[in-house]
Amino acid sequence: MQRISRLAVPITIVTLVFLVYACATNLPRGVESNPAALAQRAPERSFEHRSDAHAKDMLKDGKQIFRYDTFGSEDFWGGKLRLHDAIAGAAHGGVGPGLTARQALQLGLKVELGALPRILVEAVKGRSVDLGKVDTTLELLRANAVVGVTGFFDASTKRMTAIGIQCALCHSTVDDSLMNGIGRRLDGWPNRDLDIGKIVASAPTLKPFADLLGVDEGTVRGVLTSWGPGRYDAELGHDGKASRPDGKPTTTVMPAAFGLAGVSLHTYAGWGSVTHWNAYVANTQMHGKGTFYDPRLNDPQRFPLAVKSGAWNKRDTPDLITPKLAALHFYQLSLPAPEPPKGSFDAGAAARGKTVFEGKAKCARCHVPPLYTEPGWPMHSAAEMGIDDFHARRSPDQKFYRTTPLKGLFVREKGGFYHDGRFEDLSQVVAHYTRILNLSLNDGEKADLIQFLKSL
């Protein structure tokens, strides 16, 4: 056995030498290579390495943009509406009584715990900070701690000179870990507490809106204050419709900005992709400075105000929005749908409800797991859904509603379900589809289905 082992070593070496020689003498000849491909060889970083680094940069930049970029909107909210003056109050160079920190929290504005100086955190815990003072609001703005809002201050006078807004204003909230309205950020969660209409209505002047709509400022204030918390109308400035046929406001509930990876279209009526809507909102709703082009809005019959304002073909210089759309989109797609809290649903019933969801109730036909929307073109007519077509007809396509992704559904319980919050709870949603689809679900199956929806 030892003799065989000793012989094996030289035999192995000879074999390896022969194989190397054979490979070297059989190299392909006359085969050309792409110089661009050769340039990727070491010591240069590989394309894969650069792709990984690019992804990290996009995530970092996108988060910064989503949370803190005003896109130059301070020229509108501060320069034209003077909203900062209403917040500061007459005692601080503005107008009126000003906005106390308690009032700001009651309006649904949120404060990021991580942005607060430690001494202020301790003061809030010890209840030694007076939330009933405007000064506290201004200090929170100076600390850049108000989610989705940036105050601009004069370095010499210390007075607020303008205010700008970010994506996070409507599409982030906090976990209330310090107190109600103050906590750690929850990016992508719709702020269903935010009364954006009432906040905007407090501005000293609403002349830009009044001029566009062709009404007086009092009428504009009436419309804005009718919206209520967690609701917004993103089409008012284009079609001029302030009320539905039933007399209710034309608002929809704030949508989630999480769980969008793999989702084809954004918005309840499927106006376009996520990045289309980012450009639409940043330019036409936040009133940032950028470029937006959608010729579908160049329709004087359906979108008279978009034609009047030129919002369908907006081109500002400098463009503070377009260079940021890619990173913003990347960050949004990275936001996962949150998992429901433990104990918020019956796990056993949810397991049975999953079978009902995917079978007898026919839910999975449109809400396809694991996206819980439809791959491709997830659009359905109002007739298919058994509802009116008012909001569908306000979109460029005029007739469809999108299959909304269901993950993280528990986050959207406040304010109701569907685009306009018409269903107060999931039992009403299940009852609606049981009737429309003529489902033969017994009470137990309905209850199990509800628990499954709560588990998503």
Residues 362-414 pLDDT 10s: 999 999 999 999 999 999 999 999 999 999 999 998 889 999 999 999 999 99
**What is residue 288's three-state secondary structure?**
coil
Nearest-CA neighbor of 79 among 202, 217, 205, 166?
205
What mean pLDDT do residues 419-437 have?
Answer: 96
Query: What is the mean pLDDT of the segment spanning 293-305?
Result: 97
pLDDT digits (tens, 9 = 90+) for 323-353: 999 999 999 999 999 999 999 999 999 999 9
d(CA 81, CA 224) in angstroms, rounded, equals 14
Return contacts of 282-285, CB within 8 angstroms, 24+ apart.
Answer: 282/71, 282/167, 282/321, 282/325, 283/311, 283/314, 283/321, 284/237, 284/238, 284/311, 284/314, 285/234, 285/237
First to last CA, the chain: 65
pTM attached to this predicted model: 0.89
Task: Name, of 19-23, 155-159, 232-236, the range with top average pLDDT.
Answer: 232-236
Tell me what pLDDT residue 286 has: 98
CA-wise closest residue to 223 among 203, 204, 251: 251
Query: Quick check: 379 and 270 in contact, CB under 8 A?
Result: yes
Q: What does the mean pLDDT of the chain come to? A: 92
Say if residue 2's pLDDT is above 80: no
Beta carbons within 10 angstroms of residue 268's beta carbon: 20
166 vs 27, more confident? 166
Token pair of 380 as six digits:
């359905």
